[in-house]
């Protein structure tokens, strides 16, 4: 019978590979090698005498058969995880797997440390992170493919989300060490009209924060001399270091570059460039013990990390 052929671990590999669209990424999430993932998928395909995936360049996509079984596999795997977590409660254990989506630069700096400290306390909970665009991570959250999102956005498309404030990030102006502003400490908003600026994409949280604040000082986006637009704060920091212009980045990026004596941070009189980061969950989805543990742990841990960072910087 087909029921005897089902192996929950193999089904989980199938599910993660389908969601990742890449066997290598699935292996990273599951802590398996890419060949191991390929062997498991091949074994499943041989059992069912069907191709579940179609190879597509460097990635994979589901075949018609794979798409047909995906919803049922997801339901089986999620149910198995709930069974394991609920049994663990009676053994005073917290176990499980949690998936976080992230679309912010600050999140890339916050999450590794947060996850490391969380797993020191809950070593049987595995936490994986998907870095992608705002639209992708919120769609995955809505479809219950991931459990939480770390973001600075509050999209209007979803009404069933709960937002937990966890971090107050700040966009800061950075210049190269040889730039005249490196020794000024403070400039005025109008000074930005006279220099080449390296910006993030217009739909990024960084760009929105800057442009909204500048418009309050009657500075429209078209008045700025945007030398180039880059896709990450790290890329902007490198371009600024190379003397291609001044740039705006997350404070976490700026502090690291400043600590290595690569860039100088410059304040802008009268501009409030702060934006809040939120941990977000779908309130329609019941909280398992592992998810509840992370939901409670994250704000306290990030708050303490922010205090430590501020004290170190002042020191």
- pLDDT tens across 200-227, in order? 988 888 888 899 999 999 999 999 999 9
- Note the pLDDT of residue 3: 46
Q: Give the pLDDT of residue 91.
A: 63
Region 232-242 average pLDDT = 91
The reported pLDDT for the residue numbered 180 is 92
Q: How far apart are CA 224 and CA 214, in angstroms?
A: 10
Nearest-angstrom CA–CA distance, 205 and 229: 14
Mean pLDDT in residue range 275-303:
91
Tell me: pLDDT of 1 over 60.
Answer: no
Q: Specify the pLDDT at position 311.
A: 61
> For residues 148 and 159, what is the distance between their CA atoms, to the nearest angstrom?
15
Cα of 49 vs its chain's centroid, Å: 37
The overall average pLDDT reported for the chain is 87
Task: Output the six-digit token pair for 259.
Answer: 């600590």
Q: Is the pLDDT of residue 64 over 80?
A: yes
> What is the C-alpha separation between 26 and 205, in angstroms, rounded?
28
Cβ contact 278:268 at 8 Å = no
Q: Do strands 161-176 and 246-250 pair parallel, antiparallel, or not at all (unpaired)? A: antiparallel
Structural domains present in the chain: 1-83 (1.10.10.10), 168-275 (3.40.190.10)
Residue 56 has pLDDT above 70, yes or no: yes
Percent of residues, the chain, with pLDDT higher than 70 = 94
Q: How confident is the model at residue 310 (pLDDT cuts 50, 70, 90)?
A: low
What is the pLDDT at residue 231? 87
- Angle, CA 72 vertex, CA 69 and CA 77 arms, to 5°: 120
d(CA 58, CA 45): 19
* pTM of the shown model: 0.71
Q: What is the mean pLDDT of residues 287-304?
A: 91
Query: What is the structure's pLDDT at 313?
Result: 54
Q: What 3-state DSSP class applies to 178?
A: coil
At residue 255, the pLDDT reads 85
Residue 13, both tokens: 């590999």
Condensed to tens digits (0 to 9), the pLDDT of residues 116-139 reads 999 999 999 989 898 888 888 999
Mean pLDDT lowest for which of 78-92, 176-190, 200-214? 78-92
């Amino acid at each position: 019978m087909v029921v005897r052929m089902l192996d929950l671990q193999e089904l989980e590999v199938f599910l993660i590979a389908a969601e990742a669209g890449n066997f290598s990424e699935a292996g990273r999430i599951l802590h398996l090698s890419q060949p191991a993932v390929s062997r498991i998928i091949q074994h499943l395909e041989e059992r069912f005498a069907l191709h579940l995936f179609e190879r597509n360049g460097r990635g994979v996509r589901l075949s018609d058969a794979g798409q047909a079984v995906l919803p049922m596999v997801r339901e089986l795997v999620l149910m198995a995880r709930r069974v394991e977590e609920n049994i663990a409660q009676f053994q005073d254990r917290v176990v499980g797997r949690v998936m976080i989506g992230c679309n912010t630069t600050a999140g890339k700096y916050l999450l590794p440390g947060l996850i490391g400290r969380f797993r020191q306390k809950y070593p049987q909970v595995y936490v994986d992170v998907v870095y992608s665009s705002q639209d992708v991570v919120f769609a995955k959250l809505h479809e219950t493919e991931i459990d939480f999102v770390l973001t600075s956005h509050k999209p209007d498309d979803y009404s069933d989300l709960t937002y937990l404030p966890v971090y107050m990030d700040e966009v800061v102006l950075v210049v190269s060490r040889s730039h005249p502003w490196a020794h000024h400490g403070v400039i005025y908003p109008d000074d930005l009209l006279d220099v080449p600026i390296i910006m993030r994409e217009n739909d990024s949280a960084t760009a929105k924060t800057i442009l909204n604040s500048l418009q309050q000082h009657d500075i429209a986006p078209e008045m700025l001399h945007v030398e180039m637009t880059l896709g990450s704060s790290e890329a902007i920091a490198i371009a600024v270091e190379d003397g291609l212009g001044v740039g705006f980045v997350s404070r976490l990026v700026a502090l690291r570059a400043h600590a290595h004596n690569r860039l100088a941070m410059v304040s802008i009189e009268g501009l409030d460039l702060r934006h809040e980061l939120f941990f977000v969950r779908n309130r329609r989805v019941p909280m398992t013990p592992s998810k509840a543990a992370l939901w409670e742990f994250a704000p306290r841990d990030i708050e303490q990390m922010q205090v430590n960072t501020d004290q170190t910087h002042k020191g």
